[in-house]
Structure 1
Amino acid sequence: MTIKDINNKIISDARIQAEKIIAQAEDNANNITKKGKKKADNIKNKILYKNNQEASLKKSKILTEAKLEAKKTILLEKQKIIEDVFGKALESILKLSDKDYHYFIKKLILDNIEIGDETIFIGSSDQRKISESFIEDINKELK
């Protein structure tokens, strides 16, 4: 073999070796890229999962707060209605004639007596309307 042939052989072997090195480097680069993409996808999925969990918790919290606020509003409205009804009932009771008032109070007392030795407390505004004879009438009916 001549020097030129040896030289050509060395150059040819070097090219083959260089092509192998380049192919191996490209494979390594592709593998690194794939691993990087896979790692990035894993990180992205973890972030998305975490954000979805947080969003779900926030949504649940907002819904719970809204439901509680709605219940609170309903309770306040019910309380207003009850206060209004009691106010109107009291107003109606106060407008009763003495005869109707005595009948109402007497029925109220008799319907709510359980054993017969209850104590009845009379408010200062009712003391003018309820006399000793009225109490005695009730006591007679209990016997």
Structure 2
Amino acid sequence: MSIEKITSKIEQDAKAKADEIIGEAKKQAWDIVKEANKKAEKIIADAEKEGAETRDKQVVSRKAVAVIDGKNVTLAKKQELIEECFGAAIEKVAEAPAEKYMDFLVSLVKAQGLSGGEIILARKDAALGEDLLKRLKAELPSGKFTISEEQRDLRGGLLIRDGSTYYNASIEALSEDMRDDMTAEVAGMLFGRQE
């Protein structure tokens, strides 16, 4: 065998070995790429699943917040309407026809159970003082009531001073006293009974 043949044989063997190594390297590279693709697909699938779960949790959470916010807005509106009702009731009493309003003032004095005192009227009711005294003398003959020079900024009703004690029978005070007892009843009338 000549040197050329030996050299040629070595080159052929080397080329065959190189082709085999390259082929094996390509196969390993493809295997690595396939494995990487599988891992990438799993990572993407896991991320999509986690993202969907997170999105679903956020949607549920945001819906819950929206429901609570909606209930709070509804409650605020209901409370506003209830306040308007109490305001309208105060207005109705304050603007009642003269005879009914006088009956109301007399009933306020009687309800205090006092035998006398100084009656302080709302500024708007100052002109009713003498008529109120006449009615009180007729209905409570033993009563010793006077009308004070002092007047207050009240929507209506009156105050009675008995020595150093004041009895507040203003419309505002009466409304506040009844508010706790009547709020549920007013809400029931406005919105129906709700569980």
TM-score (norm 1): 0.63
Deviation at 1:8, TM superposition (A): 2.1
The equivalent of 2:95 in structure 1 is: 88
Counterpart AA for 1:4: E
Following TM superposition, the consecutive aligned residue runs of length 4 or more in structure 1 with deviations greater than 4 angstroms are: 120-127
Counterpart of 2:139 (choices 108, 126, 130) is: 130
* Alignment root-mean-square deviation, CA: 2.9
Structure 1 position 123, deviation (Å): 5.7
Written as runs of structure 1 = structure 2, the 5 A alignment for 1:21-100 is 21-89=28-96, 91-95=98-102
**Code of the aligned partner of 2:35:** N
Equivalences for 1:11-30 in 2 at 5 Å?
11-30=18-37
The one-letter amino acid of 1:67's match is T
Aligned counterparts of 1:48 and 1:130: Cα–Cα separation in 2: 75
2: CA distance, partners of 1:6 / 1:12:
10
Between the two proteins, what is the percent identity of the paired residues?
12
Tell me by how many angstroms 1:3 deviates: 2.6
Q: Distance in 1 between matches of 2:102 and 2:35?
A: 99
* Residue deviations 1:44-71 (CA, integer Å, cap 9, x gap): 1122112111211111111111101101
Gapped regions of structure 1 (runs ≥ 5): 97-119, 133-143
Aligned to 1:103: none
Q: CA deviation at 1:34?
A: 0.7
- Residue type of the partner of 2:53? K
Counterpart Cα distance in 1 of 2:67 and 2:92: 37
Letter in 1 for 2:70: L
TM-score normalised to the size of structure 2? 0.48
Q: Distance in 1 between matches of 2:61 and 2:111?
A: 59
Q: 1:83–1:43: structure 2 CA closer, same or farther, 3 Å change rule?
A: same
Give the 3 Å change call, closer, same or farther, for CA 92–3 of structure 1 in structure 2. Answer: same
Higher helix proportion (structure 1 or 2) = 1
Structure with the larger strand share: 2
Q: Give the match's secondary structure for 2:25.
A: helix
Q: Deviations over 1:103-123 (max 9, x none)?
A: xxxxxxxxxxxxxxxxx9796
Distance 1:123 1:90 in 2: 25
Which runs of 5 or more structure 2 residues have no equivalent in the other structure?
1-5, 104-109, 115-132, 142-195
2:112, 2:12 → 1: CA distance?
133
In the TM superposition, what is the alpha-carbon distance from 1:4 to its structure 2 partner? 2.8
